[in-house]
Amino acid sequence: MMLGGMDGKEYGALHAAAAAAGYAMEADPNASAMGNPGMGGGAQQYGEVNQLGGVFVNGRPLPNAVRLRIVELAQLGIRPCDISRQLRVSHGCVSKILARYHETGSILPGAIGGSKPRVTTPKVVSYIKQLKAKDPGIFAWEIRDRLLADGVCDKYNVPSVSSISRILRNKLGGALYPVPPLYPVPPQRCWPLHQPYDYYVYLQGRQHAASAQHLPHAHVPPPPHHAHAHAL
């Protein structure tokens, strides 16, 4: 099937994204819950009904097929409000999915759940131990600077001063290695706030790792150019 207004390349890319998403209705626990027109949905299993009469599962992403359909219809030049009515998905949701598609090139929902990757890896801890052994009076923030300067960590995964302090206290033993006061402490920021896209990619990879194993390769959306423009 070829869609008007969309060349083969675009359409192929769209479906590649869907394929990478798993796009297996059977594999999606929500898929059969969608009894909406145009969704290819099966029998209603569970879920709530929105104002448009569409079925959704609160807290769970729309099935990939529906997400794909939204993008397809938009590519055909159909207005978001019409897509919303046709698929019985709230216009806010349509707007969100299209905005994400335009930004990342992916129809995939974000990774739900999980927590950020650990920054205090064994390598980092061992390096901190070395620094502390060489200079027992070193400040936590100095250690942090050294981790950056020596390339052990980058600005996105360097532990916070308080984390370093905790490592010194817990893993090195406060009695043996008295921890100097943290002050003066240079300004710092927390990891997820200034580099959300890295985390997005990390979680997305993690979440889809299982399903992507038997796919040629997962679709990795291009980094949004302003991913952290308003993240702070």
Which of 14, 69, 200, 219: binder of DNA (CB under 7 A)?
200
Q: Is 67 a residue that touches DNA (CB under 7 A)? A: yes
Map the footprint of DNA across residues 71-110, applying CB under 7 A. Answer: 79-81, 89-93, 95-100, 109-110
Give the whole-angstrom CA distance, residue 14 versus residue 4: 14
Lookup result for tokens 């009904």: 49
Question: Does 6 sit near DNA (CB under 7 A)?
Answer: no
Q: What is the DSSP letter of 164?
A: H
List the x/- string, 154-183, binding to DNA by CB under 7 A: ------------------------------
207 binds DNA (CB under 7 A): yes
Distance CA 219, CA 16 (A): 7
Strand partners, 49: 55
Q: Identify any residues that bridge with 133 across adjacent strands, giving them in sequence order.
A: none
Judged by beta carbon, residue 130 or residue 170, the one nearer DNA is 170
Among 166, 192, 211, 227, binds DNA (CB under 7 A): 192
In this chain, which of 32, 50, 121, 163 binds DNA, going by CB under 7 A?
50
Planar angle of CA 77, 80, 82, nearest 5 degrees = 85
Q: Give dist(CA 92, CA 49) in Å, integer.
A: 16
**Radius of gyration of the chain from Cα atoms?**
24
Using the rule CB under 7 A, give the single segment among 11-19, 20-28, 159-167, 196-204 that binds DNA: 196-204
Interface with DNA, residue 112, by CB under 7 A: yes
Phi, psi of 197 (to 5 degrees): -70, -35
Contact set with DNA (CB under 7 A): 29, 50-52, 54, 56-62, 67, 79-81, 89-93, 95-100, 109-118, 192, 196, 199-200, 206-207
